[in-house]
Amino acid sequence: MNSSTEASAGPEEKGRRTFFGQAIGILTAALTVVLGGSLAAVSIGPMFRKTKPYFSPVTGFDIAPEGQPVELRFSYSETDAYLRKDVTETVWVIKHSPTSATVFSPICPHLGCRFDWIPGAKRFACPCHQSVFSPDGTVLGGPSPRPLDSLQYKIEGATLSVQWERFDPGVSRKVRIG
């Protein structure tokens, strides 16, 4: 509107314009706060959220033979932002006694392939690039830059529980991912 139109507008018209202008300003500010706060929480919040160590019970430890590597399964819930899913994973376990074990991640430290136990050779072997490991996880051959990645565990009663972690493949030291 030009100034001559504004000058000819009555006090009632000016009051209505002022009211609607203020109402739109207040609604805009409220939406900015709500949407901006939500966006900040989604974007920045995960950086400050600490994950507590969680131990998942592993099935089959009570009947696992002593001194022999066995692949055992466990399940856990994984959360990514607001999405949650149940995941089943495996670990290699060598039971030393009912209260002692060695637990390895099933992922080769070289490039992240899954390795297997070769009973006849009494070694772990990665089929992707032929890395070979002893039962204690030491590299015996191949391109793996470090030994097998062990996982933290606890045994309560006859139940083995593991703390699942992933490590950066291809580097000489064990670096946790995430």
- Secondary structure class of 20 (helix, strand, coil): helix
Contact 167, 178 (CB under 8 A): no
Beta-carbon contacts of 171 under 8 Å, excluding residues fewer than 6 positions away, are 145, 146
pLDDT at site 38: 74
Contact 117, 104 (CB under 8 A): no
Span 121-138, pLDDT tens digits: 999 999 999 999 999 999
Q: pTM for the whole thing?
A: 0.70
Contact 170, 111 (CB under 8 A): yes
Contact 91, 74 (CB under 8 A): yes
Residue recorded with tokens 């160590």: 53
- Secondary structure class of 24 (helix, strand, coil): helix
Under DSSP, the state recorded for 36 is H
Strands (E), the chain: 55-59, 70-80, 83-97, 100-104, 116-118, 123-125, 132-133, 139-141, 153-156, 159-163
Number of separate helices (H) and strands (E) present in the chain: 2, 10
pLDDT at 7 over 60: no
pLDDT at site 22: 87
Q: Tokens for 67, please give them.
A: 């001194």
pLDDT at site 35: 82
Distance CA 141, CA 132 (A): 5
Strand partners, 172: none
pLDDT at site 114: 95
